[in-house]
Amino acid sequence: MSDIARRSALALALAAGIAGSAHAAEPVERPWMDRSLSPDRRADLIVAAMTDDEKFRMIRADFGQVKEKGPNPPGALNGAGFIPAIPRLGLPFLNETDAGLGVTRDGSDHKGAISLPAGLATAASFDPAVAHAGGRMIGGEARGKGYDILLSGGVNLTRDPRNGRNFEYAGEDPVLAGTIVGAAVKGIQERHIVATVKHFAINDLETGRNTLSSDIDPVALRESDLLAFQLAIAKGDPGSVMSSYNRINGTYAGEHDWLLNKVLKQEWGFKGYVMSDWGGVHSGAKAALAGLDQESAGETFDKEVYFDKPLRAALASGEFPKARLDDMVKRIMRTLFAHGILDDAKRDPVAYEADRIVARNALEAGAVLLRNEGGLLPLARKGQSVAIIGGHADKGVLAGGGSSAVADVAGDPVPGLEPTGWPGPVRYHASAPLEFMRKLGGKVSFDPGTDPAAAAKAAAGADVAVVFVTKWAAESFDTPDLALPDNQDALVEAVAKANPKTVVVLETNGPVKMPWLDRVGAVMEAWYPGSGGGEAIARLLYGVTAPSGRLPLSWPKDEAQLPRPAIQGAGLNSKAKPADNVDYNIEGADVGYRWFEKTKREPLFAFGYGLGYTSFAYSDFAVDKDAKGNPVAHVTVKNTGKVAGADVPQIYVTASGAATRRLAGWAKVALKPGASRRVDIPLEPLALARYDDKAGRWHVAAGSYSVKLARSATDVAGEKTVTLGESFPVVKAP
C-alpha cells in the first residue's frame, strides 16, 4: 500500500462510525460529522465535546520536520507543522507545508514538487485565471502528498524592490495584489486544502523582521497594505491568516488587538483562524486575547510554548477566559469543516507533468518584455544562429530561497551553490532554456559566461546573442542595492559590444540596475521562472507565444529614487545592526507608481508597462454606471499587428484634488490579428474611496473623478470624467 493510500485509510479509520452521519434521521455517534450541518454548527458541536487538554492540543502546532532526538510522531510528513490526531473525536492528524510557489516538502510520496514562477510573474499576468490555475495546481499537489494546510497566500506589498521576499508576493498595488492572491487562494481551497494569507501585516522588509517596528499612520495602512489583505480575504475566503514577525507602530503583529480583533475579525468579518509565523509568538494570554488563535512550532522557534503551560495558567487564574479558548478552537474547527479537510479522505496522485504545463503557462503569461529595438524578438525559427550565454541556461532556471524554495521533482541540476545553509540552498529548476531553444531554433550554441572575453567571442560568431543574468534573493535578508552580482554587467557589456543584436533575459527577484540597457537590443524579465521556466522562455523568445506580462511594480533607475535609499543592516550575513523602526509614513499609502507621481520622479519602467510582438489600438472609450451606481469603463481593443497577442488596458482614477492616481480596474484581452473586442471594466469601489478613521468606514466622496484609460501608470491613452454621489463601500469576507 502506498503512503498516500495508507494515510487515507488511517484517516478513514479515525473517522470510523461517521459514515451514516450525513443522514440526519439516523443516530449519529459524532454529530459534528453530519455534513448537512453548517460549518459553524459542526464546530460548536465538536468544541462542546472536547476536553480542555484536547482544546489546548488544537491551538498549537508542532514543528513538522524531522527532530534530531528521535523520529517524528506517527502521521507527521516532515513538513512545516503538525497536529496529532485525536481518535476519540474522529480527528485525523493535520500536516502543514510551506507552499508559496509550490509544495516545499516531499510529503507522503517522497518526491519533489512543481514550482510556479515567482508570485510577481503571476501578478504580472494581470490575469486572475492564471492565479486561480496556479492555486489549484499547488493545492492539488499538496493534497496528493498528504498535506492539509498550505502556508500560501503572500500579499505583502512591494514597498522596496530590495526586499528579499518580493518574489513570493504580488507587487505594489493593493487592488492588483489582492485580486491576484484572492484568486490563487480560491484555487488552492477548491482542492480541499486550507490556504493561509500572510504575513499580516506590513512585513515589507526582511532585515530585522523579528524586531523592527513598521511605523505608519493607520489610515495610510488601511489604504495600502491592509487593502491588499482585505481584498485577498474577501475574494479568496482563506481558512487562515498568518500574523507577521514585525511590530506595527511598536506592537508585535501577533499581539495587536487593533489589527487582529478589531480590523480582521470584527470589521472584515473573518471567520477563520489566525496562526503565528514560526517564532512569532512572545506571550500567552496577551497574544490570545489580542486575537492570535494558534501558535506555530513554539517548541522549536519560540522562547517557550506560550499556548501550553503559560496559557493554561492564565486560564486557571481567570486572566484568560474559557470563552476565548473555545473561540480559538471553534475558528480552527470551523475552517477544517468549511474547506472539506475532515470530510474528504480521497487524495489523488500528483500529476507532475500536467502541473509543469500549468507552471509554464504562468510564466508565459507573466514574463515582461521591457525592450525590443528593431523587432529583434521573436527570434527566427530557421536560418539564424544564436549564442546562449551565462546563467546556467544549459542546466535550468534560478529559484528564490528561503521557506518557499521548492525541491523540484526533477532534482537540482546546479547543486552546491552558496549559501548551502539557510536561507539556501540556492536551487535551480531542471528546465534548461538551452534544451528547449535547440528544439525550436536552428544553430544554438552555449557559453557559460564565466569569461567575458570568451563570451564576446561566442557572441560575435552568432547572428544573435542571448545573455541570461541572475540575482538570487531569499527570505530573511534584503539586498543592499539593485546591482547585478558577480560581474554580470561587464559580461553583458562585452557581449553587446561584440554583437549589438543582444537579448538579455533576467532571472531576478525584481528590478535591477541596467547600465547597459541602451546598448542591447532586447530585455525580458523572466522573474524566477519556475519548473516550466526553460520551456516558457524558449517559446517566448521564438514567438511560439507572445509576451503579454505587465510590470506589477515600478522599476526605478536606481536606489536614490526610492523612499528609503538605503536599508540599514541589509545584505546576506550582514553584521550591521538593523533599524529598530522603519518609517513608512514617508510614502504612506502612495506606494510604488503613486510615489513616483507624487514626487514627480520618472522610473526606468512604469508600473503596468510591458511590450509584445504586436500592436493594439483603443477606441470608443466611455465611462458610465451600472444599476447600482458603480462606475464601469468601456473600451474597444483591436489587434492592429500581424500576430496574435494579449493586451492589458488599465483604468486609473483620480479624485478631484487628489495628488495621485489609483489603479481601479483592468482587463486581459487576447486577440488574433485584425480582431477587436469591446470590453467592460468595472471599477473597484475601494480604489475610489478613502478611509474615514473617525467614522470607521470607507467613504466615496461626492464629486467628479478623472478616469484614465492607460497602457501603464504613465502612458495615458484617453481620459473621461465621471460624477459620483456619496457612498460607503463595504467589503467583508464571505
- Provide the grid cell at 140: 492539488
Give the cell for residue 430.
Answer: 531542471
Q: Which of 7-16, 123-132, 658-667 has the lowest mean pLDDT?
A: 7-16
Which H or E run includes 444? strand 444-447
Closest CA to 469 of 486, 481, 457: 486
Angle at 578 between CA 572 and CA 584, to 5 degrees: 110
Query: In the 3-class helix/strand/coil scheme, how is 132-166 assigned residue by residue?
Result: HHHHHHHHHHHHHCCCCEEECCECCCCCCCCCCCH
Predicted TM-score (pTM) of this structure: 0.95
Mean pLDDT for 154-160 is 98
pLDDT for 14 beyond 90? no
* Whether the predicted pLDDT of 53 surpasses 90: yes
At position 399, the amino acid (one-letter code) is A
The DSSP-derived string for 662-724 is EEEEE--EEE-TT-EEEEEEEPPHHHH-EEETTTTEEEB-SEEEEEEEESSSS-EEEEEEEEE
248 forms bridges with which residues in the sheet?
214, 251
The set of cell numbers assigned to 621 is 472609450
Render pLDDT for 216-226 as a digit per residue (tens, 0 to 9): 999 999 999 99
* pLDDT value, residue 733: 64
3-state secondary structure at position 56: helix
| Residues 185, 188, 194, 197, CA torsion sign | negative
Percentage of the chain beyond pLDDT 90 is 91
Confidence band of 267 (pLDDT split at 50, 70, 90): very high
Confidence band of 67 (pLDDT split at 50, 70, 90): low
Predicted pLDDT at 655: 86
Identify the pLDDT of residue 29. Answer: 85
Q: What is the pLDDT of residue 71?
A: 67
Model confidence over 232-266: pLDDT tens digits?
A: 999 999 999 999 999 999 999 999 999 999 999 99
Domains identified in the chain and CATH numbers: 616-724 (2.60.40.10)
| Alpha carbons 77 and 68: distance in angstroms, whole number | 15
Query: pLDDT tens for residues 298-324?
Result: 999 999 999 999 999 999 999 999 999
Q: Which of 360, 545, 538, 546 is nearest to 444 (CA)?
A: 538
pLDDT band for 1, please (50, 70, 90 cuts): very low
As a whole number of angstroms, the distance between CA 555 and CA 713 comes to 12
Q: Sign of torsion, CA 264 268 271 272?
A: negative
| CB contact at 8 A, 594 and 585 | no
Query: For residue 596, which of 549, 560, 648, 548 has the smallest C-alpha distance?
Result: 560
Q: 333-368 burial, b if ≥16 CB within 10 A, otherwise e?
A: bbbbbbbbbbbebebeebebeebbbbbbbbbbbbbb
Confidence of residue 25 (pLDDT cuts 50, 70, 90): very low
Local confidence band at 730 (pLDDT 50, 70, 90 cut-offs): confident
pLDDT of 97 strictly over 60: yes
Rounded average pLDDT over 686-691: 95
Q: Which of 182, 37, 121 lies closest to 552 in space, CA to CA?
A: 121
Specify the DSSP element, H or E, that contains 405: none
Nine-digit cell string for 608: 503596468
Q: What is the pLDDT of residue 457?
A: 98
- What element of type H or E holds 514? none
Kindly report, residue by residue over 377-420, the tens digit of the pLDDT: 999 999 999 999 999 999 999 999 999 999 999 999 999 999 99
Residue 74: the pLDDT is: 82
pLDDT, tens digit (0-9, with 9 covering 90-100), for 459-470: 999 999 999 999
Residue-wise pLDDT tens digits, 538-592: 999 999 999 999 999 999 999 999 999 999 999 999 999 999 999 999 999 999 9
Residue with the larger pLDDT of the pair 344 and 530: 530
**In this structure, what DSSP letter does residue 408 have?**
B
Determine the Cα–Cα distance for residues 551 and 646; give it in Å rounded to an integer: 14
pLDDT value of residue 659: 86
Contact 91, 85 (CB under 8 A): yes
For residue 12 the three cell numbers come to: 478513514
Q: Of all residues in the chain, what percent are helix, strand and coil, respectively (each to 5)?
A: 30, 20, 50
Task: Say if residue 19's pLDDT is above 90.
Answer: no
Greatest distance between any 2 Cα atoms in the chain: 82
Q: What mean pLDDT is predicted for residues 176-189? A: 98
Give 525's strand partners.
368, 506
- Cα separation, 263 vs 258, in Å, equals 6
User: How much is the mean pLDDT over the chain?
Assistant: 94
| pLDDT value for 344 | 82
The predicted model gives 346-367 an average pLDDT of 96
- One-letter identity of residue 106: D
Give me the pLDDT at residue 108, please.
87
DSSP E strand boundaries for 179-298:
194-200, 213-215, 240-243, 247-248, 251-252, 273-275, 295-296
pLDDT in tens, 423-461: 999 999 999 999 999 999 889 999 999 999 999 999 999
**Residue 69: predicted pLDDT:** 56
- How many CA atoms are closer than 13 Å to the CA of 617, on its beta-carbon side? 9
Q: Which amino acid is at 17?
A: G
